[in-house]
Structure 1
Amino acid sequence: MAVFFKESIKGPLIRLMAAMCSGVLLTLAYPQANLWWIAWFAFLPLLFAVRNKSWSAAFGLGFLTGLIHNIGLVYWVDGVMRQYGGIPWYASIPLLFLLAVYLSVYMGLFAAFTRKGPVRPLRSLFFAPALWVCLEYARTYLITGFPWGLLGHTQYQNLEIIQIADLTGAYGVSALIILVNYGLYLLGASLYSGTLFGPTLSRTRGMLAILLTGMIVGGAYYYGVFRLDQVKQSCKNAEAIEVAVIQGNIDQNIKWNPAYQEHTVDTYVRLTKSAVSPKTELAIWPESAMPFYFSATEPFLTARVLNEAREDNLYLLTGSMSFERTEKDPIFYNSAFLIGQNGKVLGKYDKAHLVPWGEYVPLKKYMPFINNLVEQVSDFSPGRKGEALPANGVNLGVLICYEIIFPSLARHQVLDGANLLVTITNDAWFGRSSAPYQHFSTAVFRAVENRRAVARAANTGVSGFIDPTGKILAATNLFVEDTRTASLPLLKTGTLYTELGDLFAFICMGLVIILMFAGPKTK
Structure 2
Amino acid sequence: MKFSLAKVKLPSLVNSLLAVISAVLLTLSFPDFDLWFLAWFALIPLFFVINREKESFVKSFVLGWIFGTSFFFGTCWWLTFAPITYGGVPAMIAYPLLFGAALVAGLFPAIFGAIFSLLLKRFGTYASLFAPFIWMATEFLRFNLTGNNWNAIGYSQAFSGKSLQYASVGGVYLVGFLIILNNSFFIWLYQYLKKEFGEGIFASYIRFKLYTPFSYMIQNDDGMQKTVTGKQQLIIIALVFLPVPIGIMSILIGENHSPSKPLVPIPENTFVIAVQPNVPMSGLKYGEREKLRERHIQLAQNVITNSKFDEYAEEEANTYSKSEKFEKDKKFYSDLAVKNFQNAQKVVIFPESPMNFMYENDREFQEFIKDFAIKNNVSVLFNSAEPNLRGDNLYNSAVMINSSGEKVAQYDKIHLVPFGEYVPLPEPVARFVPSMVGNFQYGSEYDLLPFGDAKGGVMICFESHFPSLSREFVHNGADVLIEMTNDGYLGETPVLRQHLANAVFRAIETNRPVLRVTNVGVTAFINERGEVLDAAKPYTEDTRVWTISKSNANQTFYVKYGEWFAWLCSLVSLGLLSICSWKKEKKKEKFATAERC
Common topology (TM > 0.5): yes
Aligned to 1:336: 398
Aligned to 2:36: 36
Give the distance between the partners of 1:287 and 1:115, measured in 2 at CA.
46
Q: Which has the larger radius of gyration?
A: 2
Give the deviation of 1:332 after TM superposition.
0.9
Aligned to 1:454: 514
Quick check: 2:40–2:247 contact (8 Å CA) kept in 1? no
Is 1:14 the counterpart of 2:14 in the alignment?
yes
Give the distance between the partners of 2:77 and 2:414, measured in 1 at CA.
26
Give the distance between the partners of 1:293 and 1:488, measured in 2 at CA.
28
Give the distance between the partners of 2:457 and 2:436, measured in 1 at CA.
30
SS, match of residue 317 in structure 1: strand
Which range moved further: 300-309 or 65-74? 300-309
Question: After the TM superposition, which residues 51-130 of structure 1 pair with which residues of structure 2 at under 5 Å, given as runs?
Answer: 51-53=51-53, 54-84=56-86, 92-93=94-95, 95-115=97-117, 120=123, 123-130=126-133
Give the distance between the partners of 2:534 and 2:555, measured in 1 at CA.
24
Give the deviation of 1:486 after TM superposition.
2.2
Deviations 1:143-181 (A, max 9, x none): 4x1121111111012333010111101110000000000
Quick check: 1:187–1:206 contact (8 Å CA) kept in 2? no
Give the deviation of 1:296 after TM superposition.
1.8
Quick check: 1:118–1:186 contact (8 Å CA) kept in 2? no
Give the deviation of 1:237 after TM superposition.
13
SS, match of residue 384 in structure 2: strand
Instruction: Provide closer, same or farther for how the CA distance between residues 368 and 392 of structure 1 changes in structure 2, counting only shifts above 3 A.
Output: closer
Give the distance between the partners of 1:122 and 1:498, measured in 2 at CA.
36
Residue 273 of structure 1 aligns with an amino acid whose one-letter code is Q
Aligned to 2:555: 494
Residue 501 of structure 1 aligns with an amino acid whose one-letter code is G
TM-score (norm 2): 0.76
Give the distance between the partners of 2:281 and 2:482, measured in 1 at CA.
22
Moved over 6 A (4+): 86-91, 208-213, 235-239
Is 1:244 the counterpart of 2:305 in the alignment?
no
Give the deviation of 1:464 after TM superposition.
0.9
Unmatched runs of 5 consecutive residues or more in structure 2: 1-8, 206-231, 305-340, 588-597
Aligned to 1:308: 372
SS, match of residue 396 in structure 1: strand
Instruction: Provide closer, same or farther for how the CA distance between residues 368 and 481 of structure 1 changes in structure 2, counting only shifts above 3 A.
Output: closer
Aligned to 2:476: 416
Is 1:134 the counterpart of 2:137 in the alignment?
yes
Give the distance between the partners of 1:318 and 1:296, measured in 2 at CA.
15
Residue 162 of structure 1 aligns with an amino acid whose one-letter code is L
Is 1:485 the counterpart of 2:549 in the alignment?
no
Give the deviation of 1:30 after TM superposition.
0.5
Give the distance between the partners of 1:484 and 1:390, measured in 2 at CA.
20
Residue 251 of structure 1 aligns with an amino acid whose one-letter code is P
Give the deviation of 1:102 after TM superposition.
1.6
Aligned length: 500
Give the deviation of 1:94 after TM superposition.
5.1
Is 1:323 the counterpart of 2:387 in the alignment?
yes
Give the distance between the partners of 2:554 and 2:140, measured in 1 at CA.
26
Give the deviation of 1:306 after TM superposition.
2.2
Give the deviation of 1:446 after TM superposition.
0.2
Instruction: Provide closer, same or farther for how the CA distance between residues 127 and 171 of structure 1 changes in structure 2, counting only shifts above 3 A.
Output: same
Deviations 1:24-45 (A, max 9, x none): 1111110111110110111011
Aligned to 1:4: none
Give the deviation of 1:206 after TM superposition.
7.7
- RMSD in angstroms over aligned alpha carbons? 3.3
Give the distance between the partners of 2:430 and 2:70, measured in 1 at CA.
33
Give the distance between the partners of 2:412 and 2:431, measured in 1 at CA.
28
Deviations 1:293-348 (A, max 9, x none): 12321x3333222222222222221112112352xx61111111111122211111
Quick check: 2:168–2:510 contact (8 Å CA) kept in 1? yes
Is 1:470 the counterpart of 2:499 in the alignment?
no
SS, match of residue 286 in structure 1: coil
Aligned to 1:253: 282
Give the deviation of 1:521 after TM superposition.
4.1
Give the distance between the partners of 1:289 and 1:377, measured in 2 at CA.
9
SS, match of residue 168 in structure 2: helix
Give the distance between the partners of 1:81 and 1:490, measured in 2 at CA.
43
Give the deviation of 1:477 after TM superposition.
1.7
Question: After the TM superposition, which residues 250-289 of structure 1 pair with which residues of structure 2 at under 5 Å, given as runs?
Answer: 250-255=279-284, 257-276=285-304, 277-278=341-342, 279=344, 281-288=346-353
Give the distance between the partners of 1:264 and 1:127, measured in 2 at CA.
55
Residue 457 of structure 1 aligns with an amino acid whose one-letter code is V
Give the deviation of 1:285 after TM superposition.
0.9
The percent of aligned pairs where both chains have the same amino acid is 31
Give the distance between the partners of 2:12 and 2:237, measured in 1 at CA.
31
Is 1:515 the counterpart of 2:576 in the alignment?
yes
Give the distance between the partners of 2:356 and 2:22, measured in 1 at CA.
43
Residue 279 of structure 2 aligns with an amino acid whose one-letter code is I
Give the deviation of 1:364 after TM superposition.
4.5
Deviations 1:123-145 (A, max 9, x none): 424421111111121222214x1
Give the distance between the partners of 1:208 and 1:347, measured in 2 at CA.
62
Is 1:503 the counterpart of 2:564 in the alignment?
yes
Give the distance between the partners of 1:141 and 1:421, measured in 2 at CA.
24
Is 1:395 the counterpart of 2:455 in the alignment?
yes
Unmatched runs of 5 consecutive residues or more in structure 1: 1-8
Residue 50 of structure 2 aligns with an amino acid whose one-letter code is V
Instruction: Provide closer, same or farther for how the CA distance between residues 90 and 293 of structure 1 changes in structure 2, counting only shifts above 3 A.
Output: farther
Residue 136 of structure 1 aligns with an amino acid whose one-letter code is E
Give the distance between the partners of 1:385 and 1:462, measured in 2 at CA.
27
Give the distance between the partners of 2:180 and 2:238, measured in 1 at CA.
13
